[in-house]
Amino acid sequence: PHNLKQYDNGWVVTKVNEYPSFCLRIRDLIHLKKDETMIVKNKMISKWVEDLRRYPKEIIALEDYSNLRKRLMEKLCVNILPDRLSNEVIAELGLLEKDSSIFKDTVENWVLETCVNPCWGADSPGWCHLKSMVNFHLKEELANLHPYLSDLLKKKKALWINSSVGKVQDSYKWFFQDPVNNSKMLLVLDLIGAYPKDFKDEILFRYNIKLTSLIVNLEDILERVAPLDSNKEVVEYLNDQVMIYWKKILKGKAISLSDIISQMSGRLERE
């Protein structure tokens, strides 16, 4: 509104010539009785904004962002913060409102745990942790992340890959090539792993994967991370496919009850 720029945490005012638009927006918000965050990144405008203190705090609450690093250090009881964790980043991520009681070791880990998910705060790679990453990507999306968080995620991925060895390292490398798709593929195998190979290959084709071309053994990974959490898209797709599969099978050759049961995971409604 009024030609102001919008950011994740509110509207941003950076230039002196944006001050009239800023004032008009404030007027509109008061009239509409609407809550909204306005971030001022201009020293001159910051001085003018002090005039707004005449309003009750219930209407306009002013927050000084110039000492957020100091306040965050006090909140976390630490003597130093990462250089890139500026006052601006602290404000944009809303870190002063995050839960400090879960702070354990490093500020960066705490930021990841509170802003993304606890599984991203881990330092030690392993099968249990890889399982938590698979489950995370089955349930969450990493869309429109703040640049600071994106950089921390890249740093974590490199740490887990470089500090692991053997099959664990190969599995992390493979998984992070396409974590969203690969997590769904592992769930597919978790749910229909006992079905015939031809049927599984047909399903996996949806995810553009040929098992023979992989650098890792998916069955080997699955053995260590299953059972996995559910994913609506995968489950709905598999429900349709297994229903078609069983209709064909039951119309054709005779099949024993034990053979039927041995293929089913028991986690798909259409089974």
- List, for residues 172-207, the tens digit of each pLDDT value: 999 999 999 899 989 998 998 888 888 888 888 776
Distance CA 14, CA 227 (A): 50
147 Cβ neighbours under 8 A, 6+ residues apart: none
pLDDT tens for residues 85-105?
Answer: 999 899 889 899 899 999 999
Which of 83 and 61 is assigned the larger pLDDT? 83
**Residue 254 confidence class, pLDDT cut points 50, 70, 90:** confident
Are the C-beta atoms of residues 170 and 162 closer than 8 Å to each other?
no
pLDDT tens for residues 119-133?
Answer: 999 999 999 999 999
Phi, psi torsion values for 193, nearest 5 degrees: -60, -25
pTM beyond 0.85: no
- Which letter does DSSP use for residue 18 in this model? G
Distance CA 82, CA 233 (A): 39
Distances (CA, A) of 141 to 179, 180, 181: 10, 8, 12
The token pair at 15 is 């230039």
- The mean pLDDT value for 106-126 works out to 96
Are the C-beta atoms of residues 199 and 245 closer than 8 Å to each other?
yes
Per-residue pLDDT, 82? 96
**Residue 157 confidence class, pLDDT cut points 50, 70, 90:** very high
Length of the chain: 271
CA count, 13 A, side-chain hemisphere, 3: 7
Position 250 pLDDT exceeds 50: yes
- Which letter does DSSP use for residue 183 in this model? H
**Residue 212 confidence class, pLDDT cut points 50, 70, 90:** very low
Beta-strand relationship, 5-7 and 10-13: antiparallel
